[in-house]
Amino acid sequence: MDIIYSTWPWYVAGPLITLTMFLLLKMGKKFGMSSNLRTMCSIGGAGKFADFFKFDWKKDSWNLYVVAGVIVGGFVALQFLTPTAPQINPDVVAKLQELGINSTNTAFLPTELFSLESLLTVKGFAIIIIGGFLVGFGARYAGGCTSGHAISGLSNLQLPSLIAVIGFFIGGLIMVHLIFPLIF
C-alpha cells in the first residue's frame, strides 16, 4: 500500500505514460478528455442542431471508458486511499491566507471556493459559469484540452500542440498572478 499512497517518481510515471501513448499511437487513437464532450453531445443528438456534432462517434466511444475510469478512480482514491489532505508549501499557504483562503492543509479543495455555500452565492455561481465557459471555449478553440495537447499532441511532435501548451502556461500564469487576486 505504501507504493499506492506515495507519489510516483518521474522515472516510473514517465515510462508508463510513454507506454500508454505508444499503444494508443499503434492503435491509431488519440488521447484527450475534452473530445469526450463532443462525443457525448453527438450521442445525445446534437448533430440535429450543429454540423460539428455530425461524425462517427462510435469510433471515439472507447475514450468514454477513460472518463468513467477517471471518475471511478477519483472516487476510490478519495474514499479509500487518501488518509489526509496534502501539505502545501508554507509560502503558498501564506499567500492564500492573504487572499482569505484559510482551509489549506485541512481540505483537498479550499472550502472558501468550493463549498456548497460558496458556490450558491452570486459571485461563486458567476465564477463557475464564466470559468466553465472560458475553459470550454478555450479547449474547443485550441482544438483540445491540456491533456490532449500536452500528452498526445506533444508525443506526436505536433507544432500546434506545442503552441497550445505554451498558451496554457501563459494563461495559467496570468490567471494566478493577475486575475485571481482581483477576484478574491
- 97-111 burial, b at 16+ Cβ within 10 Å, e below that, comes to eeeeeebbeeeeebe
Q: Find all residues with CB under 8 Å of 7, minimum gap 6, and list them.
A: none
Q: Cell numbers 505514460 correspond to what residue?
A: 17
User: Which one-letter DSSP state was computed for residue 88?
Assistant: P
Contact 116, 95 (CB under 8 A): no
Burial class (CB in 10 A: 0-12, 13-18, 19+), 157: exposed
41-87: pLDDT as tens digits = 999 999 899 998 898 888 888 889 989 999 999 898 888 886 677 78
119 and 79 within one domain: no
109-123: pLDDT as tens digits = 888 888 888 889 998
76 and 4 within one domain: yes
13 and 78 within one domain: yes
Q: Decide which of 60, 83, 106 is a domain's last residue.
A: 83
Q: Does residue 100 lie in a domain region?
A: no
Q: Does residue 93 lie in a domain region?
A: no
Q: Does residue 92 lie in a domain region?
A: no
Cell reading at 18:
510513454
Confidence (pLDDT) at 166: 94
Cell reading at 23:
499503444
pLDDT band at 105 (very low <50, low <70, confident <90, very high): confident
75 and 5 within one domain: yes
Q: Does residue 68 lie in a domain region?
A: yes
Q: How far apart are CA 70 and CA 12, in angstroms?
A: 20
What is the number of structural domains in the chain?
Answer: 2
Cell reading at 135:
475553459
Q: Does residue 104 lie in a domain region?
A: no
Confidence (pLDDT) at 49: 92
120-175: pLDDT as tens digits = 999 888 988 998 898 888 888 888 888 888 888 888 889 999 999 999 999 999 98
125 and 52 within one domain: no
Q: Does residue 18 lie in a domain region?
A: yes
pLDDT band at 15 (very low <50, low <70, confident <90, very high): very high
184 and 126 within one domain: yes
Confidence (pLDDT) at 19: 93
9 and 71 within one domain: yes
Range of the domain at 125: 115-184
Q: Does residue 62 lie in a domain region?
A: yes
Q: Does residue 78 lie in a domain region?
A: yes
Q: How far apart are CA 140 and CA 134, in angstroms?
A: 10
